């Protein structure tokens, strides 16, 4: 039997005793138990997200002011990703070409910066890391 079921049973017993003050206390206890369960679920979700971020972070390299995902042989397989979004939010947000002048942009945080190296790898029709359909999502599975 779980804590919620135990609290419900206690409420039924208190109703039979006809003690209003005790009944209210039991209801408060049940409410607190539900809140603790919800907090526990949120923490479990946050732990899973941090585990994923840690796994990916070990495979990221910073080059030309962007992150790139590497495989076990340190070959770049995906990217470029925004350094701000990854460092602050643990989000792997792709950087895209912004203008014809060599600027690139993060679509989430909207940062725009000059990088000919990144821009040249993002020119349409050119091969760039990530063309082999492997990437961050493949590495996010938590063991």
**pLDDT tens figures, 14-23:** 777 777 788 7
Average pLDDT over residues 42-48: 94
Domain that holds residue 42: 3-55
pLDDT at 80: 92
pLDDT for position 47 = 93
Is residue 121 a part of any domain in this protein?
yes
- The answer to whether residue 141 is domain-embedded is no
Q: Name the pTM for this structure.
A: 0.55
99 within a domain of the structure (yes/no): yes
With the CA atoms of 119, 124, 127 and 133 taken in that order, what torsion angle do they form, in degrees rounded to the nearest 10? Answer: 110
pLDDT of residue 38: 94
pLDDT band at 44 (very low <50, low <70, confident <90, very high): very high
């Amino acid at each position: 039997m779980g804590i919620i079921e135990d609290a419900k049973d206690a409420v039924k017993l208190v109703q039979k005793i006809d003690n209003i003050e005790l009944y209210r206390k039991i209801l408060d206890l049940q409410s607190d138990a539900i809140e603790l369960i919800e907090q526990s679920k949120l923490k479990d979700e946050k732990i899973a997200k941090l585990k994923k971020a840690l796994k990916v972070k070990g495979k990221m390299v910073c080059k030309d002011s962007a992150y790139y995902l590497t495989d076990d042989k340190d070959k770049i397989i995906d990217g470029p990703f925004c350094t701000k979004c990854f460092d602050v939010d643990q989000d792997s947000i792709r950087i895209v070409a912004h203008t014809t002048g060599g600027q690139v942009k993060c679509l989430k945080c909207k940062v725009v910066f000059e990088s000919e190296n990144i821009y040249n790898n993002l020119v349409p029709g050119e091969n760039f890391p990530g063309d082999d359909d492997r990437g961050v999502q493949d590495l996010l599975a938590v063991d």
